[in-house]
Each structure stands twice: as C-alpha cells, then as structure tokens.
Structure 1
C-alpha cells in the first residue's frame, strides 16, 4: 500500500493531465484548434499546381452570356466536349464534368442526345454520380452517416458512353473544412470510386501509364488531401466555346468542368485558404495527389496516445528533478519538436495531432512548475513559521528573501520608535478568574496587539507577561516609523473597547490597556547567551517607553517629547506636563495622545 501511495504522489500530475486532455478532446473547439494548427503547419511549402490539370468554370461571365444555369440545354456541355476534341492532336486526355445529369430532361431531349453523342465520340469523358447516404445506428448508439442508401446515376444514354465517379465532398464536422477525399464505397456488392479517381484512371489508360498504388484509407475509406498552392486556371467556359481560349491550351491534359460562380453554391472552405474553393478545384487537387502519388493518412490514435504518454512520462521526470533553467530549455525544445516532427512526418505521408501534444507539454510544464513552487512555499512556510516563534517575523522574512547578510546581525545603533502596551489590573483579574479564563483573555489581548503592530509594519519584539513590546524601524528601515507606532497604538485602543465589552459580559471584568511610546536611539541586534539569543532593542529609549506605559492610566496613550516633535502635524494631544519617571534622573515632557488630526493618514500608512 505504501508503494502505491508513493507512486500516486509521484505521478498524480500525469493522471490529471491525461484526464484534462481526454476531456478537452470531447469538445469541438479543441478539435478545431488541432485542425487549425495542422492546416498552418502542413500547408507550409505546399506543392505547386500541376501544369497538366485545367479547370473550365461556369463562371459569372458565362452565366451572363448563356443565361441562368436552370435555362441551359445539356447540349451546351456537348458543344464544349466537341470543341475540346475537334482536333484529336490537340485534344485533352480526359474531360471530367462536375455536373449532375440525373434523368432525362423531358423538355430538352435533343440536348440530352447531343451531350451523349459528344461524349461517345470523344471517348474521354468522366461524368458525375452522387452517393445518397442514409443513417444507421452503429454499435455505440451513434448515427453512422457513411452508410450508402443509394447512388444516383446519369441518364442511361450518357452513362453508357462515359465513366462515372461520385462527386460527394464531405467537410470536416468540426469546422466545415474539406480535408479528406472519400475514395470508394461499396453498394450492392459493387465498388464505386470517386470522380477524381475515375479521372486519374482514365488519364493513366489514355497515356499508357501504370496505375499507382491506391492511397491508404481510414476506417471510412477516406484519405487526407494535400492541397497545392494556386488555382488551376479557372478558364471561362464561354471563352472556350467562343474560341477566345483555343482548345490547344488543354492539349493532352486533364480538363475538369464545373460551377465557378458563388451563385451556384458549390464553394467549400479548405485548409489552403481562408476563402472558399469551388468543387472543381478540390477535385483537381485530388487528381494531382493521385498523379503525384502524394497520399497522407492519419497515424492510429492509440499509437499516438501511447507515444504521447511515454513522452509525458519522460518530461515529467525532467521537470520534477531538474532545475528551472534546464527545465525551461527542455520545455522550449519539446515545443519546437512538437511543431517540427509533425511537419516532417507529413512530408512522408503521416498525419499526427499537433494541438494535443503541445497542450500536454504546456500543461505538464506549468503543473510541475506550480507543484515545485507550491512545495517550495510550503517548505519555506514550515521553516519560517517555526522560526517566527523565536524571532520577529520581519527578521525571518528578510532572512528568507535576502539572506542573512542583509540584517547585519550583532548589534547596531538605530533610531527607533518603541511601544509598550500592558493590561491594567491583570494581577487582580488573575485572582478572580480561573486559569483557563485568564489564558483566554490574555490570548485575545496578545492577538489584538500583535495584529495592530504588524498592520503598520512594526516588529513584535517580545511578550513580557501581560505586556507587549514593539519596535518600529528595526531590523529594517520603514517610512514614518513614529507615525506608524502612533497608528498602531490607536488601533489597539480601538480594539480594546470591543475586547473590554466582551470580557465584561462574559466574566464581569473589563479589560483595559495602558500604552507608552518613545522615540530615540537604541542598540538593536542579537542579544543573549551563545545557546539562546533573541533579536531585541536595549537602551534608554526602550526604558523610557516602558516607564511611560507604566504611568499610563487605563485607556490612555502617553508619548514623549521626541515622539510629539516627530508627529505634531498629524496628531491631537493633551499636554500632561513634565513628570518624573521611575529610574530616570531627568524629568521629561509627556503628552496624552487623543487621536489623529489628519483622518486619512492611517489608510495611507497601511497602503
């Protein structure tokens, strides 16, 4: 069991990471991000378009000259086929028509016949059919939209004299971009191939070329298209018919004819461009991939996951064990490899995810960074919390932050404000209450005084029975130390009202304070025996502050002349006069602190 717990402690980050990545992969936004990264990386240095593939488009100019598409006779395409094949020497090898001619056109049977005769005479025409997909429930209870319901074919006269291939273009469900080509389907125990593949096969046959190896397909008979940069001409059909573009322009090439106007709604988003490509351009890209034997296929997900997990284990060990600088270098190297390796694999035909590995590396690095940071904080806090039981918190914080040399330990003269606060009538209170009650009141009092001291940047020097001693401006310099000591004292008296009411209600005894503040030079530093030392302040300044506190009445703050001179612009006082202090040969002027003359100064000091 202990080994299992130890293993979980070492590897919990990996478990959390894999759960997060698995969860994110369920969202389309993560899939879109992955596809977008792939598009950006994979389209760097895209191949140039083939000089043997041409697109003749039914563009805006053609529609203006011949008329709206719905009014066309099918004989127009027959005329185009005859024009392209008029001179056998300059004729294209293959003509692909990306237009669906399903069923005879009853009001234009002559046009149907004209198109069929032209295709028969040419002997190099591939026309479109279309797969109609149905919906069938798979084993996991989801609909599989790749189940073939039927295949719509061209009218019989045209079908009998041409090759046919399906023109279905299937966008990625995540972001509606066309990245894959459906290669073949099986229907009624017969295989049907894509429009582009039928064009490629006929081209190979016409030119005596051996058919190259078919692309490696995924579970749905698709493969990834590598798009070429640039378009395939987009020649206007009307200009070819008029002879403005001579048929010899397409000699021995592959011509694909289809819609080339946005109004014909045959545009699709692709990785190669943020703008839409027409269906004929997509078919042209697929044909070029087939001609160039450039096939891309995705590596199996389970293999990608296993490799990613192994990588995460290695990086996890590195990020945990190695210092932050070297870990950062490894992180940068891993991010670079996360971009470079997919690009290189794509060049040889393998498609892998980019977003999820990069996200895994980033999250793992950040998690390990946060873990190490938290562990360091916990370690420091454990040390400092223990250390603060023996020395002032500011001393410990400075040691942790700047090192021991910053404190100049051993004793130095500094100008400091010294504050003493004491409970009035503590001995009497101790006699009336039981020990637990005394300790409870004392703890509340010490919490109150300590909080006020720390609030204004003072150093809690020590507790002396029911008295608290604090110094301001040691061990570190602070701004306006005397004024901050004044504000801390006022804060204590304010809290004493609530504490007094609480003790009166609970125990029948009202707790009150007396406070004394002095300002001057004292010796501060490590003082004590070699085996037990404390950071404190000694000298006449400290003694005077203590005498002032012992002379203060319940709820009274007494300050010395030196304190008054430092803060007289900010405080309201009542002069007490010159009074003798026990243990001092010289009398001093004493003032009673009544409050602040500038009400907003306390907030400024805290900030």
Structure 2
C-alpha cells in the first residue's frame, strides 16, 4: 500500500462508510421488520394475561348462531339483549357490530332504535372512510389527527345513541395491528375509538389520552396498544347463553360489556400476541389499557441514534483490541444485554427503547472492522511469507504465517547461534571462468549451502560475494539451535569435498571453505532506516563468529566455547587452541568439529514458536 493510503487512513475511511450505511438504515427505517418482530416478542412476554375485571365480552360464536338462528339475526334480538343487560345493571354496552344497511324487517330496526334511545350507555359503531395508505401518508402531517373523507353511520332508524365511536383498525406495514387512532377527524366532527368512547362513558379518566403528545413522526392521538391479554384471557360469554337467560344478572352488574363476533373466520386480525384475534378483543385490549392508565412511550429517536453511535464506536474500537474469539463473545454479550435492557425497560416502565437499530449498527461496525483487520493481518502474513520465504525453512515460514502473536521486527535481544563461512581460492578460479560460468558456479555452491541451512532450520541472513551469514533461533525459536548450526557447517564441508575435487582436477585450483560458529546474545530484527531495512543480527557475538571464521583452518568448522558447551553431547570435537581476537581482552577457546555422534532426544520440534 502506498504511503498516502496508510493503515490508519483505510481504517478511518472504512468506518466513515460504516457510519453512512448505519445512518441510511436508521433514516429509512430499514431495521423496521426486525424491530417489529422484537417488539411483538417483548409484548407477548410482558403481557399479564389478567385483563381488568370489569370487562366482559359477549361473543357471537358458532354455538350462538346455531341456537339463535342463521346470521344475520333479526335486530329485535339485539334489542332484547340490551334490555336484559340494562336490567342486570350493566355500566356500558359497546357493540362491535356494523349496522349500516336496513334489514328486511323495518319494525325490528325501529324497535332496536327505540331501545337504544331509552338508555344513555349504548354505543353502536361508525366507520371512518379513510384514504388509502399512500394518499394518507402524503397528506397527514405528524402531530395532526387523521382526516377522514366521510363517515359510515348506522342507519337512521338505529342511530339513536348520542355516543359515537369508530371501529377502524390500523394496520402496520406488515399487516399487524400494533396501534390505533384514539380520535379521527371527520366531516361530522372528531370520532373517538370504541375503546376510548366506552372507557369515557364508563367514567374512566381519559384526560391523559385526549392530551397525549404525538409520538415521533406519527399522527396525533395514535396509541401504541398495550396488548395485555389474548382471547382466552378475557371473560367471554356466548351470546346465546345471555339471550336465553342462562347467565345470572349479577354477572353483568356495573360491568363494561363488549358485544362482537367470535365465530371462526369472522372479523379477525393479526396482533403481536395472537395471529388470528377477533377484533372485539382488540377493542377490549384498548379499553383495558385505558382503564389501567397505561401508555407505551417510544424512547426518542435521538436516543436511538446516540445508542447506535455508541455501539458503532465501541464495537469498532474493540475489534482492533480483542482477539477474534474474545471479540465475538463480547459482541454477542453486548447484543444480548441490549435485548435484555430493552425488554426490562418495556416490561417495567412502559417505555419502549428500540435497541435493534443500535445493535445492528454495532454489528455492521464489527463486521466492517473485522473485515479490515482480516485484510491487514492477511497482508502482514503475505508480507512475512514473501520476506522470509527465500531465507528460512518452509516450516518456519508456515509457523510465522499462522502465528497469532505479532513478531517483533523492530529489534530484540535474544540468544542466537551465528554461522559465518567464506570460500578461499574463488578469486583465481573466477579469472579462469567466463562470467556466466562464475554465476553458475556460485549458484551451484550456494544451492548446497542454502539447502543445508534450511534443512537445519536456519535463516540465511545474507550472501556477500563468496561469503555467507546464517542465523539460528530467529525469527522464531529453534530448540537446540547450536546443534543445528554445527550440523549445517559439518554437512556443508562434507558436500564441498566433491566440489573441491572437481575444481582441482579441472582447473588446478584448490578451493576451501572456512566456517566459524558462535552462540550468544545479540540484537536481531529489522535494522536500518525507513528507506532500507534488513533483517539481521548485530552485536559483539556476531563479530566473534565472523572472527572465528577468519581464524579457522581451511575446510574446517570451528566453534566457540559457548557453542561447544551446548553441543558437546552430540558433536565430537578436537581442541583447536586459544586465539586472541580483536576487541577481546582474553583469548577465546576454539574447538574443531570432527564428526556428528548423536542428536538431541528431548522431543522438541525445531522451528516451532514458543
């Protein structure tokens, strides 16, 4: 990568793209499908299943249709039901039944209307005629009431109650009923929902609902329904049993009655808590919510954005600080914690914190940063492989490439064994050879040296003309590195015996190789400037190895005392004497390699990182 596109610049650019993607998703509500699913799950898990005890549903079920007669019934049936409930002392009677057309029996229509007129606690619904979803979304402003084009009322013969209510169902984008409009503006005035109208008529305090502040980007008076019960949770009595006088009057005294369809396949909708719920129970849940004075308040969108920003920053930052497994555990732990916080907030405070957007924004940040991290790690491994692949054992290259720990390339102190070798007699030989023959000879000789070095886990530091420097125990640990260095020198000398014989026979020139080996602490790493660096070793022990090589006898391998002490169990030596070397205040004991008599048996595999 060029200097202008540094690692930091790539990370910053990548995270800017992550932020833009998250903002797009948040701004356009692309998380809504998943958010709605989590909302439904929270709603179902938090419902008490114990609605307000004043609510009774009288259901028009299959048995009632069999008992009373084929549906639709003669409307005098409803008149008789009203009289029975009024005599029993019912507080309010709300019908979730649409009577928008005259029946075949006008006298029954009139009878029902007269019955309604006798009492002041009866509600038969109207239906607000709303525009289609697209048209409404273009005309209704946030914070204003939904505006209806018109109202479908019960027929005049029946429309005798002073109390009005709408039974319009409000469907979310996925067809689920999660909210309702408590009030709709119509040409005939403001029309309350059935739940609100019944609660108000029952004497409940509805002031907080009439003055409810509009939710963000929603019409005024839009109520998120607190579903607190499924159909089975509400006290439900079949219509026919009430009509036929089988239920004691005391059951209905001072109670709120909702009459609606409960027969299979009639007037059903999908809700967060039940896939096929008869909509009379939707009104019952709204009524229950008002009686219990509950309002679900979504947390401000600004809080969601701030939380999302926090997750993006946190996940992005820690991706670079944690290892892969730790990062995954952390990310999923935070996501689970967010879901728990969201649920507890909703269940115990009726505030709804939509954490899905924040959670998924964090996951996008994590995925984006882990992709960048993987790219740079792969790039580093490729660099290492390319950098060292020509100089060290293939086994070591594999160990470096798959190592999770970073290799310290800036220069570290560690114990190495260093092997120096030099070829004598090469200059007169090169005078007798053509240039291309010189290159071929050097390649042949250095192939021998390279093969022996790599086979014994060495790192070829450099070739300088007809000399070479080889490191052992860098960049990764090589157990028994002194042994492998001596073994390399011995095998090189053995391999050069045939080469020397061929050169002397063909050109009359005697070639010889001197090899010096020393073990000790050095500084090893990438050493140089930003324009040019070399992976090499420096220090007094490096100089000592070079001077041992220059002192060694031709075609011999000489080692220092430190190397001798680490390898004498496996190598046969002759004492070569003591030599006073430049820069040394005391003479250095030297040993000449005679033969290999064994090998380490501690079971350690050379080349494996510790």
Report TM bin, short chain.
Answer: 0.5 to 0.7
Within the candidate set 470, 473, 480, 1:533 is matched to 470
Distance 1:164 1:224 in 2: 22
Specify the SS of the correspondent of 1:170.
coil
Partner of 1:244: 246
Per-residue deviation at 1:245?
2.1
Q: Identify the range of structure 1 (537-546 vs 115-124) with the bigger mean alpha-carbon deviation.
A: 537-546
Question: Do residues 387 (structure 1) and 388 (structure 2) align?
Answer: yes
Deviations 1:55-78 (A, max 9, x none): 1111011112223323x1111111
Distance 1:10 1:28 in 2: 27
Specify the SS of the correspondent of 2:158.
helix
Distance 2:460 2:148 in 1: 92
Per-residue deviation at 1:329?
6.0
Per-residue deviation at 1:49?
1.2
**Structure 2 segments unaligned to the other structure (5+ residues):** 408-414, 420-432, 473-484, 503-554, 556-610
Kept in 1: contact 2:127–2:167 (CA 8 A)? yes
Within the candidate set 77, 92, 95, 1:94 is matched to 92
Distance 1:62 1:542 in 2: 108
Within the candidate set 128, 132, 156, 1:131 is matched to 128
Per-residue deviation at 1:171?
1.8
Distance 1:30 1:337 in 2: 19
Change (3 A) 1:528 1:168: closer
Distance 2:288 2:13 in 1: 49
Deviations 1:184-227 (A, max 9, x none): 111238221111110010001xxxx5444114443223121111
Within-5 A mapping of 1:21-100: 21=22, 30-47=31-48, 48-70=50-72, 72-87=73-88, 91-100=89-98
Change (3 A) 1:307 1:109: same
Partner of 2:593: none
Specify the SS of the correspondent of 2:289.
helix
RMSD, matched Cα:
4.4
Kept in 1: contact 2:59–2:238 (CA 8 A)? yes
Could you state the TM-score of these two structures normalised by the residue count of structure 1?
A: 0.63
Change (3 A) 1:395 1:329: closer
Specify the SS of the correspondent of 1:156.
coil
Kept in 2: contact 1:256–1:280 (CA 8 A)? yes
Change (3 A) 1:469 1:40: farther
Per-residue deviation at 1:17?
2.9
Distance 2:496 2:253 in 1: 108
Change (3 A) 1:25 1:409: same
Specify the SS of the correspondent of 1:391.
coil
Within-5 A mapping of 1:125-274: 125-135=122-132, 147-173=147-173, 175-188=174-187, 190-204=189-203, 209-214=204-209, 215-218=212-215, 219-221=218-220, 222-230=222-230, 231-264=233-266, 266-273=267-274
Deviations 1:265-298 (A, max 9, x none): x11111113x311010110000010111111133
**Across the two proteins, how many residue pairs are aligned to each other?**
448
Within-5 A mapping of 1:490-501: none
Kept in 2: contact 1:135–1:143 (CA 8 A)? no
Change (3 A) 1:428 1:233: farther
Change (3 A) 1:123 1:210: same
Distance 2:434 2:7 in 1: 57
Specify the SS of the correspondent of 1:154.
coil
Per-residue deviation at 1:131?
0.9
Within-5 A mapping of 1:501-580: 525=458, 532-533=469-470, 537=488
Per-residue deviation at 1:389?
3.6
Question: Do residues 115 (structure 1) and 119 (structure 2) align?
Answer: no
Distance 2:460 2:202 in 1: 99
Partner of 1:288: 288
